[in-house]
Amino acid sequence: MDFARSPEVEALIGRVSAFMDEHVLPLEERLMTEDFTALEPALAEARAACRAAGLASAPLPRELGGMGLSLLEFAHMSEQLGRSPLGHYVFNVQAPDIGNMELLHQFGTPAQHERWLAPLVRGEIRSCFSMTEPELAGSNPVRMATTAVRDGDDYVIDGHKWFTSSADGAAFAVVMAVTNPEAASPYARASQIIVPMDTPGVRIVRNVPVMGHAGSGWLSHAEMTYEGVRVPRENLLGGEGAGFALAQERLGPGRIHHCMRWIGIAERALDLTCARAIARELAPGRTLADQQVFQHALAESRAAIDASRLMVLEAAWRIDRLGQKAARESISTIKFFVAGMLQQVLDRGIQAHGALGMTDDTLLSFWYRHERAARIYDGPDEVHKGVVARQILARHGHSGARR
């Protein structure tokens, strides 16, 4: 396995880093003090400049307007973008849009490509993914109360969702709903259906406050209701009953995207921590950086970040060459390991900053409240640890029942 950057990727990372310094980092201070929607005009300018530089929608094929990067190549780029909360958004590879682009590219019809995928890749619209329900455990994606019932050439959707991230201002949602309740396998009961957000019966109840901040626009998590929402059957994404399988296809690369973004966050947090420790004088001539207890924590963060990077790059390499099934254990391992690493690095950074770390004068508090969910979404730590443990035990001949 060779995870080294090719000369082409090295050159790309240099271009990405320079663009971030010029167009993205200067917007961070406004992000900490203004509503996201107030930033959108400035962000639109940055996104246009990114597209003009040929750096947008990187994992998508060139013929669609992307850069055609492999998952491993994009992993290197994603780490750089993760150094700013705005990086992925400006480069049009933000969640949930990038996952929906990949789904539409792989499973969408030509008509769906023209109406939804093309403007999404061009950054002209945003989307959301509506799966999680407040009444049922999100860690069990085959349990779902939202239904989509056939009525002639239409589906009629009824249900209650929440944590439909970025629904505020989105043009459409990809909705997970039960279409085949009598299917023998619970994994064949749900489908994914494209629902324009202006369809009658679609309602955003609220942007859910997360640790005191409700957010807006792309940086929001909506509670939604679907009441008698009627959409044509041609809006079905993939086959009927294929919702779970499509979700799994979406989540594999998505976890690579998330994990490399988290590594970028951790690197930036480490930079901020070191700068603060060197400048923070505890007594005349003695700084926090001189304290052995800080140095040990710094070394542990460095080792954990480096280990995380190698694990994620290996998982990306496996998916690129062997497919998601061959990488299932690696995907679950990086999901809980890298999320845990991020929490530790951010917590150490806040501790090193002292009272300053609790304020919004640095990015640390922003990331701390927004990224605590890393250990929950896309499968909580406990689920992924169970997947890894069962695969290890199976190799040793254990065939016990799943609990």
Tens digits of per-residue pLDDT, 152-162? 999 999 999 99
Q: What is the pLDDT of residue 140?
A: 81
Q: What is the pLDDT of residue 401?
A: 56
As a whole number, mean pLDDT of residues 15-21 equals 97
Residue boundaries of the structural domains of the chain: 7-121, 127-237, 245-395
Give the homologous superfamily in CATH for domain 127-237.
Answer: Butyryl-CoA Dehydrogenase, subunit A, domain 2 (2.40.110.10)
Per-residue HEC secondary structure of the chain comes to CCCCCCHHHHHHHHHHHHHHHHHHHHHHHHHHHCCHHHHHHHHHHHHHHHHHCCCCCCCCCHHHCCCCCCHHHHHHHHHHHCCCCCHHHHCCCCCCHHHHHHHHHHHCCHHHHHHHHHHHHCCCCCEEEECCCCCCCCCCCCCCCCEEEEECCEEEEEEEEEEEECCCCCCEEEEEEECCCCCCCHHHCEEEEEEECCCCCEEEEEECCECCECEECCEEEEEEEEEEEEEEHHHEECCCCCHHHHHHHHHHHHHHHHHHHHHHHHHHHHHHHHHHHHHCEEECCEEHHHCHHHHHHHHHHHHHHHHHHHHHHHHHHHHHHHCCHHHHHHHHHHHHHHHHHHHHHHHHHHHHHCHHHHCCCCCHHHHHHHHHHHHCCCCCHHHHHHHHHHHHHHHCCCCCCCC
Q: With 70 as the cut, is the pLDDT of residue 175 above it?
A: yes
Q: With 80 as the cut, is the pLDDT of residue 139 above it?
A: no
Q: With 70 as the cut, is the pLDDT of residue 63 above it?
A: yes
Q: What is the pLDDT of residue 348?
A: 98
Q: What is the pLDDT of residue 25?
A: 97
Q: What is the pLDDT of residue 253?
A: 84
Q: What is the pLDDT of residue 72?
A: 93
Architecture of domain 7-121: Orthogonal Bundle (1.10)
Structural tokens at position 127: 């989307």
As a whole number, mean pLDDT of residues 60-87 equals 95
State the pLDDT confidence band at 104, using cuts at 50, 70 and 90.
Answer: very high
Q: With 90 as the cut, is the pLDDT of residue 344 above it?
A: yes
Whether domain 245-395 has CATH 1.20.140.10: yes
Structural tokens at position 87: 């990086």
Q: What is the pLDDT of residue 343?
A: 98
Provide the whole-model pTM.
0.93
Q: With 60 as the cut, is the pLDDT of residue 246 above it?
A: yes
